[in-house]
Structure 1
Amino acid sequence: MRRGIGLRAAQAALLAALFGFWHLMTVPGLVPPFLFADDQQAAFFFGEPVKVLQRIWAWFVSDADIYRHLGITLLETVLAFAIGAASGLATGLWLALAPTASAILEPYVKAANSMPRIILAPIFAVWFGLGVGSKVALGVTLVFFIVFFNVYQGVKEVSPVVLANARMLGASRRQLLRHVYLPSATSWVFSSLHTSVGMAFVGAVVGEYLGSAQGVGYLILQAEGTFDINTVMAGIVVLTAFALLLDAVVGFAERRLMRWQPRSGETEKL
């Protein structure tokens, strides 16, 4: 308990130190002259943390005009995350348990994964329009392969001894899937989900950059057009905070579903 409180305090202190350093670097007269030609350039390039926080306060409290945009971005992110994770899980299980299909589709899966999928954003905009659909489609392509390869590898690494024992006890194919394959792949799945949260946000925001009239990515794009670096930084902070929140939800689900797995501290004690 004390270790957890101390860890949180250290993390908060580090965050405060970073904001303090950021603030000092943008205060006129404190920036080394060899870095910038004048005192205003540091604030122009990096923004000012006080003004960034003021912009966030205006978005959420005084003006309260970000909720519609944030709702759209979160909807796109959650849909991309859910669809990409579910399809990656199902496809990974299928190909891991179907060697013939895996051998046939392997070069196509590798080719699709090697493609820089960001370039698909304009195509999705043509196919699905400039609404939520094109952003979700882009996010799904980013999330799918992360989950797919982790599930595929997790199922492939099931212990043959465990499989042989389960078959000896008369386990059916469905029972093997439920009691052997899925538990083996669970840790791999959650590991991929933590990475996929950020990729789902990337798909949503990049899609909003390329064509949208709403969303946090749209607000950032508008701010970039007017060289409003403080609003750009505010948008980045907001997106980061909600990405961490969604990652915390995934972590909570992981702890609930994987109670059987010993934690790192418990493992060290053993």
Structure 2
Amino acid sequence: MKNTLTLRLAQLALLVAVFVLWHVLTTPGLVPPFLFADDRQAAFFFGEPVKIFGRIWAWFVTNADIYQHLGVTLLETVLAFGIGTVLGLACGMWLALSPLAAAICDPYIKALNSMPRVILAPIFAVWFGLGVASKVALGVTLVFFIVFFNVYQGVKEVSPIVLANARMLGASPRQLLRHVYLPSAMSWVFSSLHTSVGLAFVGAVVGEYLGSARGVGYLILQAEGAFDINTVMAGILVLTVFALLLDMLVGQVERRLMKWQPKSGETEKL
């Protein structure tokens, strides 16, 4: 408990130090003269933390006008994350257990994975319109392959000895799936989910950039057009915080479902 508290305090101290340094380097009169010819350039290019937090305060408290935009972005992100995860889990499990289907689909999966999927955003906008659906579709393509390849590899890594023993004990295909394949793939799945959280946000925000009238990405795009770096940075901070919150939620689910797995410290003691 004490070590955890010390760690959290150290992390908080590092965060505060970063913002203090940022404030010093972007405040006119405090900027070292050798960095910029004009001490106002730093604030123009990197924003000022005080004004950034002021914008966030106005969004959430004073004006309270971000909730509709944030709700849209979070809806797109959660839908993309959920659908991409389910599809990746199902397809990865299916192809890992079906060698013939995997061999047939292999070149097509590799081709789709090698495609820079962000370029699909305009196509999805044409297919699904400028609403939530096109952003979700883009996010799904980003999340799907991360989960798919991890699940596929996780199932392939099942111990042959465990598998043979389960079959010798008379386990049915359904029991093998539930008690052997899924537990083996779970650690791989959650590893991919932590990466997929950020990619789901990328899909939502990039889609909003290319065509939308709502969302945090739309607010950032509008601020960029007006060279309002403080609002841009405020939007980035808001997205980062909510991405971390979603990642923490995934971590909570992981700890609950992976109780059977020994922690690293426990493994060393054994």
Q: Shorter-chain TM-score category?
A: over 0.9
Cα distance between partner residues in 1 of 2:123 and 2:93: 29
Cα distance between partner residues in 1 of 2:24 and 2:268: 42
Q: 1:262, CA displacement in angstroms?
A: 1.3
Cα distance between partner residues in 1 of 2:264 and 2:16: 28
- CA shift digits 1:180-234 (9 cap, x unpaired): 0000000000000000000000000000000000000000000000000000000
Cα distance between partner residues in 2 of 1:200 and 1:159: 32
Cα distance between partner residues in 1 of 2:123 and 2:52: 34
What is aligned with 2:184?
184
Q: 1:266, CA displacement in angstroms?
A: 2.2
Cα distance between partner residues in 2 of 1:5 and 1:32: 36
Q: How does 1:156-171 map to 2 (within 5 A)?
A: 156-171=156-171
What is aligned with 1:269?
269
What is aligned with 1:39?
39
The one-letter code sitting in structure 1 at the alignment partner of 2:125 is A
Cα distance between partner residues in 2 of 1:236 and 1:54: 14
Where does structure 1 lack aligned partners over 5 or more consecutive residues? none
What is aligned with 2:202?
202
The one-letter code sitting in structure 2 at the alignment partner of 1:56 is I
Q: 1:263, CA displacement in angstroms?
A: 1.6
Q: How does 1:86-125 map to 2 (within 5 A)?
A: 86-125=86-125
The one-letter code sitting in structure 1 at the alignment partner of 2:170 is G
Q: 1:43, CA displacement in angstroms?
A: 0.2
Matched, 1:245 2:268: no
Matched, 1:78 2:91: no
What is aligned with 1:216?
216
- CA shift digits 1:6-47 (9 cap, x unpaired): 000000000000000000001212222232120100000000
Matched, 1:2 2:2: yes
The one-letter code sitting in structure 1 at the alignment partner of 2:143 is V
What is aligned with 1:12?
12
Cα distance between partner residues in 2 of 1:125 and 1:193: 26
What is aligned with 1:155?
155
Q: Which moved more, 1:25-34 or 1:123-132?
A: 25-34
TM-score normalised over the length of structure 1: 0.99
Q: Matched residue of 1:39: which SS? A: coil
The runs of at least 4 aligned residues of structure 1 exceeding 4 Å deviation read none
Where does structure 2 lack aligned partners over 5 or more consecutive residues? none
What CA RMSD, in Å, does the superposition of the two structures yield over aligned residues?
0.7
Matched, 1:233 2:233: yes
Q: Matched residue of 2:180: which SS? A: helix
